[in-house]
Amino acid sequence: MDVEEISRRHLAAGTPDDEIVRLLSRDILSIKHHRVTPAYAEAFARAVLAEAKNSTGLSGDLFTFEPSGSTMGEFGVGSRGSGDFFAHRQLARIIGRTEAAVGVDEMDDAGAVRAGGDYIITTVDGMHSRLSDFPFLAGFHVTRATLRDVYVMGAKPVALLSDIHVADDGDVAKIFDYTAGVSAVGEAMGVPLVTGSTLRIGGDMVLGTRMTGCVGAVGVARHLTARKQIAPGDVLLMTEGAGGGTIATAAIYSGFPDVVEETINLHFLKACEALLASDVLNGIHAMTDVTNGGLRGDAYEMAETAGCRIVVVEDELRTLVRPKVLEMLDALEIDYLGVSLDALLVVAPPGAAPEIRRVVESAGVAMKEVGYVEEGAPESVLSVGGEIRDFTPRFRESAYTPVKKVVDEDKRDFEEMKAGVERAAEAALEKKLRILSRLRSS
């Protein structure tokens, strides 16, 4: 519960000060139970109100922003669908073109810069927001995810960094359990956790036990496997997948806790280690992990970046989802093509495919050919029994919890929202340029 936001909303509505203090005090006591007195709650509420008043109505570039008119939830930011992809394209506009070997405008799994003849790869992943009450799982799966993003760029991970935020009433033990999950993956793969940060969400202003955080990774590569190298004639190869944070969340909140065990493995990372140790790596054009809105989202992003048409053939795709996971997805009517499976997707010339499969399978991981790349408009399509079907991402990834199924039904006009989001991004870019001009002239 964000007491600062509640205070601001009451101020905007014209609620009298004493009533705001009374309502805030009630909310503070309801969260903190017997750990604070009514007198403390009232004093805290008055201080919150004073700060809200002092910081309301400020003007100028440093204190205001152009609103888009859409909330994060309405626009699907973070939900790995068309809204999320559109928002990320706006971020790329604001950042602009840089000297990076692989920049944000390419929408790849990680960024890359040249340094001393090698490529330095950096990436960061946020923990799954619904794993707040399961810190070890949150740490485990976000670390595995960030290492995947380094590996699929053709890089050897060399260091991890962790950032963890827990709300004011969260137990300190959460940061320990989370760090244990991060370290378990790091130590298993020989990648040290070298730095990090620990903070409270919103400082004193956010009450409750919610946790959020991220893990970043740094890697070194000599041969990049970035999406822009995908070319017509290539084939798509995919490993088996059991999912990670998303599948664990679906299992926990839908009554399938035994499925979580399926997600505790290092199959993806070991397959990548095998590829990095093999000469076949030089024959690979691109790699990615099947996460962002499932195969629907990743195929779409790859096609956009490479400027090619990607055809995904469904014939054997279902066999690459671990049976217990697929059984749960089917029972919950979750589209397995629109949810993160944490499988490895490799794009390479047909001649390299047999050796790639041999190397991956030598690491104990199954892999099959699941599609091909051809010339044409940058799009992704699905072939089912020889019939071509639309394969564009949905507004959000497959709804994989009961709450998401409800949220998925609440949609505003997407084109109307896009206009507002684009306007807000343009305003942010213009502000950046104004501040840059000031900094450079001072």
pLDDT at 397: 78
Contact 342, 290 (CB under 8 A): yes
Question: Which structure tokens are listed for 276?
Answer: 């990095």
| Span between the terminal Cα atoms of the chain, in Å | 42
429, 94 Cβ separation under 8 angstroms:
yes
Q: Whole-angstrom Cα distance, residue 45 to residue 23?
A: 9
Q: Classify strands 387-390 and 379-384 as parallel, antiparallel or unpaired.
A: antiparallel
C-alpha of 396 from chain center: 13
Residue 230 near residue 285, CB atoms below 8 Å: yes
Q: Do β-strands 379-384 and 309-313 pair in parallel, antiparallel, or remain unpaired?
A: parallel
CB contact set of 39 (below 8 Å; sequence gap of 6+)? none
Strand blocks (E) in 203-303: 211-221, 235-239, 286-289
Which amino acid, one-letter code, is at 311?
Answer: V
Name 287's bridge partners: 346
**What sign does the dihedral 298-300-305-311 (CA atoms) show?**
positive
* Predicted local confidence at residue 218, as pLDDT: 98
Cβ partners under 8 Å of residue 129, min gap 6: 78, 212
CB-based burial of residue 405 (10 Å sphere; 0-12 exposed, 13-18 middle, 19+ buried)?
Answer: middle
Domain segments of the chain as ranges:
3-54, 103-224, 225-404
What topology is assigned to 225-404 in CATH? Phosphoribosyl-aminoimidazole Synthetase; Chain A, domain 2 (3.90.650)
Please state, rounded to an integer, the average pLDDT across all residues of the chain: 94
- How does DSSP assign 76-90, residue by residue? TTTSSSHHHHHHHHH
> Can you give the pLDDT at residue 168?
95
Query: In angstroms, what CA-CA distances link 178 with 38, 164, 184, 247?
Result: 33, 8, 10, 18
Task: Phi first, then psi: give them for residue 170, nearest 5 degrees.
Answer: -70, 145
Task: Give the bridge partners for 149, in sequence order.
Answer: none
Give the CA distances from residue 385 to residues 72, 210, 355, 364, 375, in Å, rounded to whole numbers and listed in that order.
Answer: 38, 46, 27, 29, 21
Tokens at residue 232, please? 């017509």
Question: In whole angstroms, what is the distance from residue 104 CA to residue 111 CA?
Answer: 7
Query: Quick one: which H or E segment has residue 280?
Result: none
Measured CA to CA, the distance from residue 433 to residue 206 in angstroms comes to 33
The predicted pLDDT at position 299 comes to 93
Contact 52, 7 (CB under 8 A): yes
Residue ranges of the chain with pLDDT lower than 50? none
At 49, which helix (H) or strand (E)? helix 38-54
pLDDT computed for residue 117 by the predictor: 84
Tell me what pLDDT residue 109 has: 79
Task: Specify the pLDDT at position 309.
Answer: 97
- The listed CATH number (3.40.50.720, 3.20.20.370, 3.30.1330.10, 3.40.190.10) that belongs to domain 103-224: 3.30.1330.10
> What pLDDT is stored for residue 103 in this prediction?
87
Please, are residues 322 and 240 in contact by the beta-carbon 8 Å criterion? yes
pLDDT digits (tens, 9 = 90+) for 6-36: 999 999 999 999 999 999 999 999 999 889 9
Whether residue 4 contacts residue 48, with contact meaning beta carbons closer than 8 Å, is answered with yes
For residues 3 and 414, give the distance between their C-alpha atoms in angstroms, rounded to a whole number: 31
pLDDT in tens, 139-192: 999 999 999 999 999 999 999 999 999 999 999 999 999 999 999 999 999 999
